[in-house]
Chains A and B, each alone.
Chain A
Amino acid sequence: MTKISTLSDAVASIPSGAHLALSGFAITRCTMAFAREVIRQGISHLTISQCVGAMDADILVGAGAVDRMIYGGGSLDRFGRLNCVNRGIEDGTLAAEEYSSLSVTFRYLAGALGIPFMPIRSLRGSDLMSQLKERSGSNIANITDPFTGEQWPVLKPLLPDVAVVQVQAADKDGNSWITGPRWDNIEQVRASQRTIVITERLVTDETIRQNPERTVIPGLFVSHVVELPFAAHPTSVYQAYDYDAVQIQAYVEATRTPDTLRSYLDQYIYGVKDHWEYLEKVGGLQHLISLQADPVMGY
């Protein structure tokens, strides 16, 4: 059975209420086209997890698709805060389970390894710890090290239903290359039930087999492969294209109030049929080519 899929079909495979691990980090390799299609299809009551909150999660929260967020804090770098996530937390419409980057990573890693819990040095003595115990007490506990008698906080494995990962290259079976840093993506894939790969470029089986040491996602984890250029726009994909500063700034401005956010969603999501229409809307081929990365610099 082929894994090659349209974005629309891959998104339709996700039931409302699912837990998604998204590959974005602030404003880079965010699963933006995927998030826009989730919003268009009206999938809701999602749980979103990622080590550092990013633009893909923020837009899903802003559109009302998310009930719960498991993350380690985050921002849109110099462009601004995660306005939708923060507003959701402040007005109580979003349940946030807030950790540090490493503690979310360790929850994925425990899930990936199939071990029952993961001890961690972090979180001790902080209000992150007391808040987690109060709000999500079943995901964090203490244990006595059986070898030394020391007390350790332990984290419950995180087992998302679907990891959605933006990559630079993949073959038809989902064997994928991520160029540049990979933050939590490797552990997200391995902890999840299955993975949807969104790739800038579909490459041949032969390309993968000539360079197998570059494969960071083995196809065995992957259910869908979606080839879609500029799928992370307006965020960057290392070695492919730079972030679109004008469009990210427009998003930050739009997300300051629910009303301006609504018109942003109307313009860029509900008002366009698909990703291709979206790309025309933000400036089309001429604009997108101006974002293409220099092969040496990577941006």
Chain B
Amino acid sequence: MEFDYTPSELMAVAGARELRDGEVVAVGLGLPVVASFLAKQTHAPNMTILFELGVIDPQPVDQGVGLADPRVWYRATVLSSFVDILGEVLHRGRVDVGFLGGLEVDQYGNLNTSLIGEAQGKFRHMVGSGGANDIASCAKRTIIIMRHEERKLKKTISFITSPGYISGNDSRSQAGLAGGPSRVITDKAIFNFHPDTKQMMLASIHPGTTLDEVLGTMGFSPLVPEQVPTTEPPTQEQVGLIREVIDPRHMYMG
């Protein structure tokens, strides 16, 4: 049976597919929340969801305006603190996956959420790190979700708030960091990273999108393998859960 889905729904579903049952996942609000709750309600019922301020495994019935909204803490199993979540779980090394968004990402998966360049060398100051730098530094792997636009996928970003593979090759491990980004999910494609050079590499293209559309709207050239598969589309069940249960008021999907 035919059914429609939006690019955001495809991104959330692609994010959910990256998560495995039993994993511990540190999540920020927006699409990552949809992806995580979707995974938890489908193939990963034993996953543990963490919010940095001290929330473990919430089961919200209302959508919130951010992590500071008690709506997203509802029916948590633990309400604690930064030391508990970012310290004794994340810094300790127990977070399998960190989900991050950003204003800009470069070819090595470094993320900027701090400064946006304007005319005459001026900068606008944005939200900064919050727990993003900590998650990017300490999680076993990170998944980046963002819109596919030339001004967001850039050769050089204005500020590295959260490190990916820094300047490629072994520069991340030289800095004393394990982990690193495993996927970048956009509304046109999914990328992974070259095992040695750590350059961003095209992994799949979303249905209905061409290779030219993907490459023509990026500020750098990713590695492109000879065969690029098409991203698996969402199922009707997944889209139904997003629309009816997880985000009925479109607070996260935009």
Tell me the residues in window 42-95 of chain B with beta carbons closer than 8 Å to chain A beta carbons.
Answer: 52-55, 62, 64-71, 73-74, 79-83, 86-87, 90-91
Asked whether A5 is an interface residue with its Cβ less than 8 Å from the other chain, the reply is no
Known: A124-B176, A125-B160, A181-B81. A25 touches B53 (CB 8 A): yes
- Which residues does chain B contribute within 8 Å of A123, judged by CB atoms? 133, 137
Closest to A299 in B: B70
- Which residues does chain B contribute within 8 Å of A90, judged by CB atoms? 122-125
B127 touches A81 (CB 8 A): yes
B66 touches A26 (CB 8 A): yes
Interface string of B99-142 (1 = CB under 8 A from A): 00000000000000110000000111111111111100110000
A28 touches B68 (CB 8 A): yes
Known: A125-B163, A181-B81, A184-B81. A74 touches B70 (CB 8 A): no
A105 touches B127 (CB 8 A): no
- Which residues does chain B contribute within 8 Å of A105, judged by CB atoms? 82-83, 86-87
Which bracket fits the contact residues of B?
35 or more
Tell me the residues in window 77-121 of chain A with beta carbons closer than 8 Å to chain B beta carbons.
Answer: 77-79, 81, 85-86, 89-90, 98-103, 105-106, 109, 120-121
B163 touches A126 (CB 8 A): yes
Asked whether A264 is an interface residue with its Cβ less than 8 Å from the other chain, the reply is no
What separation, in Å, do the CA atoms of A186 and B81 have in the docked complex? 8
Known: A74-B127, A181-B54, A182-B80. A121 touches B65 (CB 8 A): no
Known: A72-B129, A150-B176. A182 touches B138 (CB 8 A): no
What separation, in Å, do the CA atoms of A185 and B79 have in the docked complex? 13
- Which residues does chain A contribute within 8 Å of B87, judged by CB atoms? 102, 105-106, 109
A79 touches B65 (CB 8 A): yes
Asked whether A236 is an interface residue with its Cβ less than 8 Å from the other chain, the reply is yes
Known: A124-B176, A124-B177, A184-B81. A101 touches B69 (CB 8 A): no
A100 touches B125 (CB 8 A): no
Asked whether A297 is an interface residue with its Cβ less than 8 Å from the other chain, the reply is yes
* B104 → A minimal CB distance (Å): 12
- Which residues does chain A contribute within 8 Å of B65, judged by CB atoms? 27, 77-79, 243, 245
Which bracket fits the contact residues of A?
35 or more
* A270 → B minimal CB distance (Å): 27
B70 touches A102 (CB 8 A): no
Q: Residue A183 contacts which of B81, B163, B172, B177 (CB distance < 8 angstroms)? A: B81
Known: A125-B177, A126-B162. A75 touches B127 (CB 8 A): yes
- Which residues does chain B contribute within 8 Å of A185, judged by CB atoms? 81
Asked whether A206 is an interface residue with its Cβ less than 8 Å from the other chain, the reply is no
- Which residues does chain B contribute within 8 Å of A25, judged by CB atoms? 53, 67-68
Known: A77-B68, A101-B52. A126 touches B133 (CB 8 A): yes
* B126 → A minimal CB distance (Å): 7
A101 touches B68 (CB 8 A): no
Tell me the residues in window 217-251 of chain B with beta carbons closer than 8 Å to chain A beta carbons.
Answer: 251
Asked whether A127 is an interface residue with its Cβ less than 8 Å from the other chain, the reply is yes
Asked whether B161 is an interface residue with its Cβ less than 8 Å from the other chain, the reply is yes
Interface string of A41-75 (1 = CB under 8 A from B): 00000000001111000000000000000011111
A127 touches B128 (CB 8 A): no
Q: Residue B67 contacts which of A26, A187, A299 (CB distance < 8 angstroms)? A: A26
Q: Residue B114 contacts which of A73, A124, A184 (CB distance < 8 angstroms)? A: A73
Known: A102-B91, A126-B161. A243 touches B53 (CB 8 A): no
Known: A27-B68, A109-B83, A128-B161. A89 touches B129 (CB 8 A): no
What separation, in Å, do the CA atoms of A186 and B87 have in the docked complex? 14
A77 touches B67 (CB 8 A): yes
* 19 additional contacts (CB under 8 A) given A102-B90, A126-B160: A51-B82, A73-B128, A74-B127, A77-B65, A77-B68, A78-B65, A85-B125, A86-B124, A102-B91, A105-B83, A124-B137, A125-B172, A125-B175, A126-B137, A185-B81, A187-B82, A235-B68, A297-B70, A297-B71
Q: Please list 6 pairs of residues, one from A and one from B, whose beta carbons are closer than 8 Å in the complex, sorted by A's number.
A: A89-B125, A103-B133, A124-B176, A181-B80, A238-B70, A293-B70
